[in-house]
Structure 1
Amino acid sequence: MMDDDDVMAARQKHIEAMNAFLRDNKKALRSIANWAKHSGCAANTLGDFLKNKRDSHLDGKTMIKLAHGASALIKRDVSVAELLGEALPSDIRRIVDLIRLLPADQQDLEIGGILHRLRKLTADD
């Protein structure tokens, strides 16, 4: 079980990750208010959390809305994990982006081939 210090450390990590996401995507997101508006969330809710105001929090539903709003503004899929700094490593993200360029009927075949090769690699360990 997490103690209070662990909870606060995780919260701080998430706040830092979301602020980094906002900085990295500032051109598309434009502002906290714009991101919140396109997400269907209150700007104060997002802003207070990003400023680490004491009683602020973002629930799961709000995080999903923020991911969807960011996806629309950035024009690519954004996950809650990415917002929280727990996204796929960049090399895996690049592979996923490349597979998405394939026609839909070829995407499943390519993903299946990659999974097959990964299973073989991990079975050899």
Structure 2
Amino acid sequence: MIEDDAREKRSSIMRSVKQKDTGAEMVVRRIAHAIGARYRLHRRDLPGRPDLVFPSRHLCLFVHGCFWHRHHGCRLASTPGSNVEFWLEKFARDVERDARKEAELRAAGWSVETVWECETREPERLADRLRRLLIPPS
């Protein structure tokens, strides 16, 4: 009975995880807008539906959660202690899908960058990185 309760609780938590307009994505969007970069959101006509698309720079930006997309070496990329085999298989599929979508975008002539959730915790540093990516050198 306790195991069923725990399973239902975890299932409820996982259903509530947002796929777009996440906190990390909103930080990136605010910084990009503040530095004058204009973008489109979640373009369905592009592989992987990039979180932010900068058409003038021909740049796609993904904002990845460290846990879900397995940010290598990040403490946020932990593996749950129960049902480990399921989680490892799921994470492997997610990472493979991310790599495939990135390759498809590059093959179509797009530049692709990833901003990790943990990077949004240092907004000044992230703003510097986005300026380098988005503001053409004078």
Given the two structures, how large is their TM-score scaled by the length of structure 2?
0.29
Q: In terms of Rg, which structure is larger?
A: 1
Q: Compare the two structures and name the one with the higher helix fraction.
A: 1
TM-score calculated relative to the size of structure 1:
0.31
Of Structure 1 and Structure 2, the greater strand share is in 2
Higher relative contact order (CA 8 A, sep 6+): 2
